């Protein structure tokens, strides 16, 4: 299974990717997580990427394409993978298509009006990166590792507005890109986390049992 998850910021790509990768035994490749890891380690790449991320802008294509190219050479990608947050521009999608065949792009569809609440209430574990929402998680610590829960710096309302604008301008054209390749599946991402998960699994089971 070579999969891509598409969707606006806060659609639930990361939340769903964790469950899907566990169930189907796939590596979860989130370019956002990789970049945040670089920032944490204060690498040159991380310090450069932080400027774009804090402004809600995309990190330049060549940087992200380079990260992904190197990740794809690792042995765990040989039997499939799930990309979360990549590709995000047409040049990224074209660069990916030159390297591997994408068998399915799952578009998690959530309108802008739901996004602000999702991102303003999101909390992530500083240690393991697990994601929660204040509406259904009380307390300041991570259920899985006990780490401290923090807010992502790019979840500030003004940055979220910019991320949504960038999504509509640069990333949403990928819906047509994958539609034209006949591999697009859309799911209604406004339903509960469990309902969205069940629908994605049903689509994957049907498609990959052929």
Q: Which residues bind ligand AP5 (CB under 6 A)?
A: 7, 9-15, 31-32, 35, 52-53, 56-59, 64, 85-86, 88, 92, 118, 121-122, 131-133, 154, 163, 189, 192-193, 196
* DSSP character at residue 162: H
- Active-site residue identified among 36, 88, 118, 123: 88
The C-alpha atoms of residue 36 and residue 49 are separated, in whole angstroms, by 9
- Active-site residue identified among 13, 50, 123, 185: 13
User: Which among ligand AP5, Mg ion, none contacts residue 53 (Cβ within 5 to 8 A by kind)?
Assistant: ligand AP5
Known catalytic residue at 152:
yes
The two structure tokens encoding residue 169: 């301008």
Known catalytic residue at 163:
yes
- For ligand AP5, the closer CB: 71 or 181: 71
Rounded to 5°, the CA angle 118-121-127 comes to 110
Known catalytic residue at 122:
yes
CB 210, min distance to ligand AP5, A: 28
Burial string for 32-69 (b: 16+ CB within 10 Å, else e) reads bbbbbebbeeeeebbeebbebbeebbbbebebbbebbe
CB 16, min distance to Mg ion, A: 10
- Active-site residue identified among 36, 50, 118, 163: 163
- Its sign, for the CA torsion 65, 31, 162, 104, is positive
CB 206, min distance to Mg ion, A: 26
The C-alpha atoms of residue 119 and residue 109 are separated, in whole angstroms, by 15
Q: Which residues bind Mg ion (CB under 5 A)?
A: 14
- Active-site residue identified among 36, 50, 118, 122: 122
Q: Find out whether 142 and 128 touch, Cβ atoms under 8 Å.
A: yes
- Active-site residue identified among 71, 152, 181, 191: 152
- For ligand AP5, the closer CB: 104 or 197: 197
User: Which among Mg ion, ligand AP5, none contacts residue 52 (Cβ within 5 to 8 A by kind)?
Assistant: ligand AP5
Burial string for 147-163 (b: 16+ CB within 10 Å, else e) reads bebeebebbeeebbeeb
- For ligand AP5, the closer CB: 125 or 204: 125
- For ligand AP5, the closer CB: 84 or 104: 84
Q: Find out whether 114 and 190 touch, Cβ atoms under 8 Å.
A: yes
**Residues taking part in catalysis:** 13, 88, 122, 152, 163
């Amino acid at each position: 299974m070579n999969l891509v998850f598409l969707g606006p910021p806060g659609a639930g790509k990361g939340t769903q990717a964790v469950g899907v990768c566990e169930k189907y035994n796939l590596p979860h490749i989130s370019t956002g997580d990789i970049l945040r890891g670089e920032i944490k380690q204060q690498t040159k790449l991380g310090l450069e990427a932080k400027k774009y991320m804090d402004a809600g802008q995309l990190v330049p294509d060549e940087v992200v394409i380079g990260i992904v190219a190197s990740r794809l050479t690792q042995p765990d990608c040989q039997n499939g993978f799930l990309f979360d947050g990549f590709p995000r521009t047409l040049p990224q999608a074209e660069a990916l298509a030159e390297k591997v065949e994408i068998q399915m792009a799952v578009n998690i569809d959530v309108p802008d009006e739901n996004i602000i609440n999702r991102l303003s209430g999101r909390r992530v574990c500083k240690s393991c990166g697990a994601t929660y929402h204040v509406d259904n998680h009380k307390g300041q610590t991570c259920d899985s590792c006990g780490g401290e829960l923090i807010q992502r710096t790019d979840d500030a309302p003004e940055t979220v507005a910019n991320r949504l604008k960038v999504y509509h301008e640069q990333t949403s054209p990928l819906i047509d890109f994958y539609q034209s390749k006949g591999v697009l599946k859309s799911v209604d991402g406004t339903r509960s986390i469990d309902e969205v998960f069940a629908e994605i699994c049903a689509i994957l089971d049907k498609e990959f049992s052929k």
